[in-house]
A and B are shown apart, each in its own frame.
Chain A
Amino acid sequence: NAGVTQTPKFRVLKTGQSMTLLCAQDMNHEYMYWYRQDPGMGLRLIHYSVGEGTTAKGEVPDGYNVSRLKKQNFLLGLESAAPSQTSVYFCASSYSLGNTEAFFGQGTRLTVV
């Protein structure tokens, strides 16, 4: 049982490049989330999805886009990477939106130079 899987685990981008982070969950969860984690800042919500085909903005959505074409996948895109987007990105999923137990992936460490 893999749970939540993120790919890639590490990536270095040049400023202006684009990339997509993939999140896959095998728990049949309706709700999926993308957070970023920066030193001293905790986890901040970027975007989330309440089901296939739906997305919503979180606390820090600027510079990111997301898509949820399939229930098990949630993609996070950076169209034009900036150094300020250097961070560790975590995907999570939960059975319901108000569910207190979210399941997190291992994280993607992204460096933008």
Chain B
Amino acid sequence: GESVGLHLPTLSVQEGDNSIINCAYSNSASDYFIWYKQESGKGPQFIIDIRSNMDKRQGQRVTVLLNKTVKHLSLQIAATQPGDSAVYFCAENKRRNTPLVFGKGTRLSVIA
């Protein structure tokens, strides 16, 4: 069964605020956890990944946090912009050299 899931299907934030998108996982053996962004009418696009032996990784305006104790993954977007409106998927590769398994997605809506 699916081992990656998201807490909320939708999230609305004010422009300029920080966004936090959450994901729970059940497979402790996963090597990497990944976040993808899917804009309307497009295919998913890679944002950032984090290896299972790390707690935090930062990118441009995004931070991914991994809490292995409670099997929780989050994506933080700083100063959310209208262009951040999209569906965000967490994903994992359950074992090395296996295809990615995606969660159900959270739709982020940015209110101007």
Q: Which of B39-47, B65-73, B76-84 contacts A (4 or more CB under 8 A)?
A: B39-47
Q: A43-B102, A45-B99, A98-B93 are in contact. Are A4 and B43 (CB under 8 A)?
A: yes
Q: A40-B9, A42-B89 are in contact. Are A48 and B99 (CB under 8 A)?
A: yes
> Which of B31, B43, B101, B104 lies in contact with A90, CB distance below 8 A?
B43
A interface residues with partner B (beta carbon < 8 Å)? 4, 31, 33, 35, 40-45, 48, 58-59, 90, 92, 96-98, 100-107
Q: How many residues of B contact A (CB 8 A)?
A: 25
A6 smallest CB distance to B (angstroms): 8
B interface residues with partner A (beta carbon < 8 Å)? 2, 9, 31-32, 34, 41-46, 49, 89, 91, 93, 96-105
Contact between chains at A43 and B49 (CB < 8 Å): no
Known A-B contacts: A98-B32, A101-B46, A107-B43. Give 10 more (CB < 8 A).
Answer: A42-B105, A43-B44, A45-B101, A59-B101, A98-B93, A98-B98, A100-B46, A100-B91, A101-B34, A103-B46
A103 smallest CB distance to B (angstroms): 8
